[in-house]
Chains A and B, each alone.
Chain A
């Protein structure tokens, strides 16, 4: 059983390494994700964000602008999810009666 786990781990690691060897180089300006237009000729959202994030919100951190401004409703949903997790701990754990 232990050998099976080790074999599965090695297989999984080799799959991940094989997949990672196909990734584009980091910071290469010729990457598709850094292009202003996609393969089909439409505008890519990322180039707009990189060019206009500072002019829209005067915030140097682009990630903060995306999370707090462009996708703020999404962030609100994430916060509600975390809040729901807290409420569920109240419902499940707080009303436990002593068995003694």
Chain B
């Protein structure tokens, strides 16, 4: 890779832009019930905000945000949130991913489905964000990027 100089202007611009992209990603995940959105789209936006810092700031700055070794456990956590939600519904006598049977929630069945969808979308968003960052980290591994 060709050696390039660090540019404070690009780093400053991406520092300005990144929190807003991250906030919009969280909005897309948590308001997927009311507007177009959901786990996959919101997770991609969160990954974009993290990758912007990684592209512009380089390894030294991006280590402050999310460490490279932390992406794989985050991805596993996202998948396990989804899977344990399904298993918890099975443990109390329902079908797999039948949110009406979730423990620790006593509401009307329709509202329990509402909260169940929100829980699994958080899991999807976490997994997608961590996996996209993980793919980028593995591709530039060993190279002195930025």
Which stretch from A9-17, A22-30, A64-72 is at the chain B interface? A64-72
Minimum distance in angstroms from A90 CB to a CB of chain B: 6
Contacting A59 at CB < 8 Å: which of B114, B124, B130, B139?
A: B114
Cross-chain contact B99 with A85 (CB below 8 angstroms): no
B86 at interface, CB cutoff 8 A = yes
Query: Which residues of chain A come closer than 8 Å to B139, judged between CB atoms?
Result: 89, 93
B7 at interface, CB cutoff 8 A = no
Minimum distance in angstroms from A16 CB to a CB of chain B: 26
Bound complex: CA A98 to CA B142 (Å): 9
Contacting A89 at CB < 8 Å: which of B36, B38, B110, B134?
A: B134
Query: Which residues of chain A come closer than 8 Å to B114, judged between CB atoms?
Result: 57-59
Interface size class of B (residues with CB under 8 A): 35 or more
The 8 closest A-B pairs by CB, nearest first: A68-B117, A86-B131, A57-B113, A93-B138, A72-B97, A58-B110, A89-B138, A59-B33
Beyond contacts A55-B110, A94-B141: 7 other A-B pairs, Cβ-Cβ < 8 A, are A57-B114, A58-B110, A59-B33, A61-B34, A61-B36, A68-B116, A69-B116
Q: Give residues in A with beta carbon < 8 Å to B.
A: 55-61, 63-65, 67-69, 72-73, 75-76, 78-80, 82-83, 85-86, 89-90, 93-94, 96, 98
Q: Give residues in B with beta carbon < 8 Å to A.
A: 32-40, 72, 75-76, 78-79, 82-83, 86, 96-97, 99, 110-111, 113-114, 116-117, 120-121, 123-124, 127-128, 130-131, 134-135, 138-139, 141-142
